[in-house]
Amino acid sequence: MGANLIDGKAIAATIRQEIHNEVDAMREHHGKVPGLATVLVGARKDSQTYVRMKKRACEEVGIRSFGHDLPADISQDELLEVVRDLNANPEVDGILVQLPLPDHIDDEEILGAVSLEKDVDGFHPLNIGRLSMKRRDPLFVPCTPKGCIELLDRSGVSIEGKRAVVLGRSNIVGLPVAMLLLHRNATVTICHSRTQDLPEVVRQADILIAAVGRPEMVRGDWVNPGAVVIDVGVNAVDDPGSERGYRLVGDVAFDEASEVAAAITPVPGGVGPMTIAMLLRNTLDGALRRIG
């Protein structure tokens, strides 16, 4: 392996410690701690795991968490009522509605009902709109994209003027991370499954953000020698040899790419821990803003 490993687990641990210290200071000076409400609808195993990890991370840094686990058949109006109650609750500084929501729920209406000041996921249409315009600061930036930029910054990778290629165009990662890179003066290309000559386009990248959700799609010869590779993918692939019967791989063929790249994130242990650290950061920032 030639590439430097970008250790998201270690960087996220540093950030969690910084947040812990700031939460302690808030308790001391203001007699309160930040509060995060999690809203989980239904019983998807992956969503349950993510929400459990988020709540546990809150506790570790002194942030209170309020869990709302709701039945899969909850109505649109009942769910809206839960969100509105949380908007009005002074102990709640951040509201996280775990996605995806069941098919019968209009998620755009639900995300739009979250108070702008408590939108710690950054998914409110107005926050997304501001992110997509010049010089219009959103109150919150989505956690995974923010975590990707933080990984670059804390690894000493300069973004300005670089060619950045984002593989994937989801609302949660691809589109917002492209905006963040653009705001940092990268030259940004967004590509996807329908892009012609995809390997050739990806090979242009000084900074590659892979977020398509396809196991090991990016091969070593797609990577520009010396590129920095941020792998957002978390894909379970069958692995009869392992205890669980599966293992997690990214969107990038790690062994091949790490022979070519200058630096690369592993999966797991790269972007994943940063997403949670950024959620804590956003919740603390929300609480600080509400204190004034």
132, 71 contact by CB (below 8 A): no
The answer to whether residue 17 is catalytic is: no
Q: Which stretch binds ligand GUN (CB under 6 A): 96-104, 153-161, 253-261, 266-274?
A: 96-104
Among 93, 121, 251, 285, the active-site one is 121
Question: Does the footprint of ligand GUN cover residue 150 (CB under 6 A)?
Answer: no
Question: Does the footprint of ligand GUN cover residue 262 (CB under 6 A)?
Answer: no
Q: Which two tokens stand for residue 267?
A: 């999966």
Q: CB of residue 122 vs ligand GUN: minimum separation in angstroms?
A: 9
DSSP classification of residue 145: H
Residues sharing a CB contact under 8 Å with residue 77, sequence separation 6 or more, in sequence order: none
276, 11 contact by CB (below 8 A): no
Q: CB of residue 180 vs ligand GUN: minimum separation in angstroms?
A: 14
Question: Does the footprint of ligand GUN cover residue 39 (CB under 6 A)?
Answer: no
Q: Which of 12, 38, 151 is closest to 98 using CA atoms?
A: 38
CB closer to ligand GUN, 23 vs 172: 172
Measured distance CA(178)–CA(85) in Å, rounded: 34
Q: Which two tokens stand for residue 4?
A: 């430097």
Among 15, 128, 143, 257, binds ligand GUN (CB under 6 A): 143
Degrees, nearest 5: CA angle 45-47-53: 105
Among 65, 144, 224, 282, binds ligand GUN (CB under 6 A): 144
CB closer to ligand GUN, 3 vs 111: 111
Interface residues toward ligand GUN, by CB under 6 A: 96-99, 121, 143-144, 172, 275
